[in-house]
Amino acid sequence: MATASASFKSREDHRKQLELEEARKAGLAPAEVDEDGKEINPHIPQYMSSAPWYLNAERPSLKHQRKWKSDPNYSKSWYDRGAKIYQADRYRKGACENCGAMTHDKKSCMDRPRKLGAKWTNMHIAPDEKIESFELDYDGKRDRWNGYDASTYSRVIEQYEARDEARRKYLKEEQLKKLEEKNNKKADEDGGSDDDDDDDYLKVDEAKVDESKQMDFAKVEKRVRTTGGGSTGTVRNLRIREDTAKYLLNLDVNSAYYDPKTRSMREDPIPDSDPNEKFYEGDNQNRLSGQALEFKQLNIHAWEAFEKGQDIHMQAAPSQAELLFKNYKVIKDKLKNNTKDTIMEKYGNAASEEALPRELLLGQSEREVEYDRAGRIIRGQETSLPRSKYEEDVYINNHTTVWGSWWRDHHWGYKCCKQTIRNSYCTGSAGIEAAEAATELLKANMARKEDAEDKPVQHEEKQLATWGTEVPDDLVLDKKLLAEALKKEDERKKEERDERKRKYNVKWDDEVTVEDMEAYRMKKIHHDDPMKDFLH
């Protein structure tokens, strides 16, 4: 309850206040009214309904819970869809080249692309659209129903009402037809007495009386007496009172089980009766008919697809699962039809209207065929060679035989030219002679090489120089001259270390012998050598 102030109350006033709150919550007393005349829900807690002390509220109200400071800049209006403001007579500079409107360009034009735009024809200039801009507040930006016209929902209501009306009319016509047929049968059996005819007409009239009361049994009505949630609510029974309850169809104790809590009977209570005259066949019948069976197949398809690795889930993405199931059925039907057409094309269709050959109709022909005891054909019909799925007798690259018609040294080839390369061009008998000549020449060369390897050649040991890249094969170093060159190289290195030992009268010789180069190479320090410090 919303209270104006927290003034002191006696014990009796406090008790009366609690009783009043309980009566309001139970719906026995009218709800409290605020300043604007609106009822206050009695189930709102006191800490929410009580206004703060600094507001100085004299009467109970919920204004402190609402946003009473509204921003004048924000609006709740929406775009005026399809509104036009001005239509020009001639093309204007900067307008759309296709339709001639100034409010958009050619790229964003929603009109049909013209063969010649309005820029060149100056005809049929489209009117300018009404462009609006709104500054919406926090709730307005996130309102999914912003701009929705509630009056359009009346079309949906009318559509459903028309469907229900047509259904009721159809059911009523079916009921009348059945009654008339039943009455006609009885009239024929009884000989058409006048009293029976009057009774039949009365039964037909009873079926026509007050159909609105019989067809609105599924209508739900609920009355709410108070704002706090209503103490009374009525729901009409969901079956016609004249129909026999399903638990009374079979009074046998061992018949179908009826659960009174859920009002369900899964099995058929009268399984031995005529199915054409049954009104109720058990709740399981609903699972095996209509859309329930399709939904079951959809679930099974989703489970099997998920097990095979597809990212599909019936509860997470039901639209995706339904679309995949629909595509699966289309592909399955297409594959089935293709298989059927292939079989009919191969073996024919006995159900077609085409006349069959006379030989097939009579099962005989004038051709004489002789068989032996084992069932083999002796004469009269040539045995057909079995055909494979691969291409046969296809000759390529001028060959006269197929690949694999010749075998030699574990290699397949062509018999016409005896080549083992599959994509080779056929050379005929000339190629065979050339190949044989090449083979004989190869054998002769191999024999000559083997003879040369049997006789080892004795070579004289020569000390070759290794200081150059282009060294002649017959170059031989003299050992004595090489020793003298090594001594000269040592003396030269000593002079480089100590210039005081250099003589004044030095004779320089520009001639460099092979031994001098070899001595220089042997005495040269290799800077990359890790053992260079231990050589000299």
Least confident of 250-259, 279-288, 517-526: 517-526
Tokens of 533: 């410090």
Q: What is the pLDDT of residue 517?
A: 82
- Determine what percent of the chain is predicted with pLDDT higher than 70: 75
Compute the distance between CA of residue 399 and CA of residue 416 in angstroms, rounded to an integer.
Answer: 7
Calculate the CA dihedral of residues 71, 76, 79, 80 and round it to 10 degrees: -120
Per-residue model confidence as pLDDT tens digits over 53-96: 888 888 888 888 887 666 666 677 788 888 899 999 999 999 99
Q: What is the pLDDT of residue 101?
A: 94
Residue 265 confidence (pLDDT) above 60: yes
Picking from 296, 309, 305, 303, the residue whose alpha carbon sits closest to that of residue 327 is 305
Handedness of CA 23, 26, 27, 28 (dihedral sign): negative
Residue 314 confidence (pLDDT) above 80: yes
Q: What is the pLDDT of residue 221?
A: 47
What is the pTM assigned to this prediction?
0.26
Q: What is the pLDDT of residue 332?
A: 94
Q: What is the pLDDT of residue 51?
A: 87
The helix/strand count (H/E) of the chain reads as: 14, 8
Compute the distance between CA of residue 124 and CA of residue 116 in angstroms, rounded to an integer.
Answer: 11
Compute the distance between CA of residue 498 and CA of residue 502 in angstroms, rounded to an integer.
Answer: 8
Picking from 523, 516, 512, 442, the residue whose alpha carbon sits closest to that of residue 485 is 516
Q: What is the pLDDT of residue 322?
A: 92
Tokens of 125: 């200039």
Compute the distance between CA of residue 198 and CA of residue 215 in angstroms, rounded to an integer.
Answer: 26
Per-residue model confidence as pLDDT tens digits over 204-241: 455 554 454 454 444 444 444 444 444 444 444 455 66
Domain boundaries, the chain: 11-65, 78-138, 148-177, 246-288, 290-347, 392-451
Residue 380 confidence (pLDDT) above 90: no
Q: What is the pLDDT of residue 193?
A: 54
Picking from 239, 197, 189, the residue whose alpha carbon sits closest to that of residue 214 is 239
Phi, psi of 251 (to 5 degrees): -90, 5
Compute the distance between CA of residue 428 and CA of residue 411 in angstroms, rounded to an integer.
Answer: 19
Per-residue model confidence as pLDDT tens digits over 477-535: 888 888 888 888 888 877 776 666 666 666 666 677 888 888 887 777 666 667 767 76
Please, which residues have CB within 8 angstroms of residue 235's CB and are 6 or more apart in sequence?
Answer: 220, 221, 222
Do residues 135 and 113 make contact, with C-beta atoms less than 8 angstroms apart? Answer: no
Question: Average pLDDT, stretch 179-207?
Answer: 65
Q: What is the pLDDT of residue 505?
A: 62
Q: What is the pLDDT of residue 47?
A: 86
Residue 102 confidence (pLDDT) above 90: yes
Say which residue, 81 or 459, is predicted with more confidence.
Answer: 81
Q: What is the pLDDT of the chain when averaged over all its residues?
A: 79
What count of other Cβ atoms lies within 10 Å of the Cβ of residue 285?
15
Q: What is the pLDDT of residue 170?
A: 95
Question: Average pLDDT, stretch 102-116?
Answer: 93
Residue 130 confidence (pLDDT) above 70: yes
Most trustworthy range by pLDDT among 96-105, 185-194, 402-411, 509-518: 96-105
Q: What is the pLDDT of residue 185?
A: 86
What count of other Cβ atoms lies within 10 Å of the Cβ of residue 330?
10
